[in-house]
Structure 1
Amino acid sequence: MLQISPRLAIPDSELVERFVRSAGPGGQNVNKVATAVELRFDIAGSPSLPEPLRARLLLRRDRRLTGEGVLVISAQRFRTQERNREDARERLAAFIAAGLEVPKPRVATRPSRASKERRLGAKRERGTIKRGRTGRDWD
């Protein structure tokens, strides 16, 4: 089980882990051992996610999210398979936990009369300064 919050956990059966060879430096070890982890989690088809959370996660514009609603996390920061596996699970938990917070709805506001007047006064002053720069012969 991957524990996200006290009331939300994802069973291991919904996570698909694939171990691949890691890219980058590492000597002979990098060519022999599959230490990188590719973790896949089907957000769109997961029965353990509540519907509002699922909708919020799918609406996020994240390049790790496929068109079918599958989140793909690749972890190859560490040299051991186990540590990369933990890293991928931590990043998945952080992604889902970020979707738990319901965004506060934006309340439309209008500028006050005084703020409009201040803005227009500043524009007028600036225009006067600029107007004073032209028409002079500096020779």
Structure 2
Amino acid sequence: MEPQVDPAIRAAARRALALPGEALLAECEETFFVASGPGGQHRNKTESGVRLVHRPTGVTVTATERRSQPQNRAAALVRLRERLQALSHVPRPRRATRPTRGSRERRLAGKRIVSEKKAARRERGD
């Protein structure tokens, strides 16, 4: 089940999705850090990891796959758009359904058959 999202945050996410890349980056707090993992000296000594925090919604994304900071920034921006898209999604309301007449009749017919079998056993004394 989808968690409840504050309508104000949902509205902020929708508004942010309509923004171009540079404007969306301007709304974010951008931090760089040393990404760990394979990649050699270039990756281990440079601050190529990118963390974006979208201030209006509080969504945080990181990207550390590449050795290049601009490539990681682009990947983080793509992830941020995906998260904002998920945040702005409004689930369709669920409506209770009722069994059809045919399915109800089939279920009752099955119960009747089982009942008749049990009654026949009682009469025979099995």
Where does structure 2 lack aligned partners over 5 or more consecutive residues?
1-15, 118-126
Residue in 2 that maps onto 1:62: none
**Does residue 93 in structure 1 map to residue 81 in structure 2?**
yes
**How many residue pairs get matched?**
99
Give 1 or 2: higher helix fraction: 2
Contact 2:59 / 2:83 at 8 angstroms: preserved in 1?
Answer: no
Where does structure 1 lack aligned partners over 5 or more consecutive residues?
47-68, 129-139
| TM-score, with structure 2 as normaliser | 0.62
Q: Sequence identity, in percent?
A: 39
Residue in 2 that maps onto 1:70: 58
Which of 24, 28, 42 is matched with 1:15 structurally? 28
Distance 1:122 1:74, change over 3 A: farther
Which residues of 2 match residues 52-71 of structure 1 at below 5 A?
Answer: 70-71=58-59
Shift of 1:28: 1.4
Distance 1:15 1:104 in 2: 30
| TM-score, with structure 1 as normaliser | 0.57
Give 1 or 2: higher strand fraction: 1
Distance 1:119 1:102 in 2: 36
Pairwise CA RMSD: 3.0
Greater CA deviation, 112-121 or 91-100?
112-121
Which of 29, 35, 39 is matched with 2:52 structurally? 39
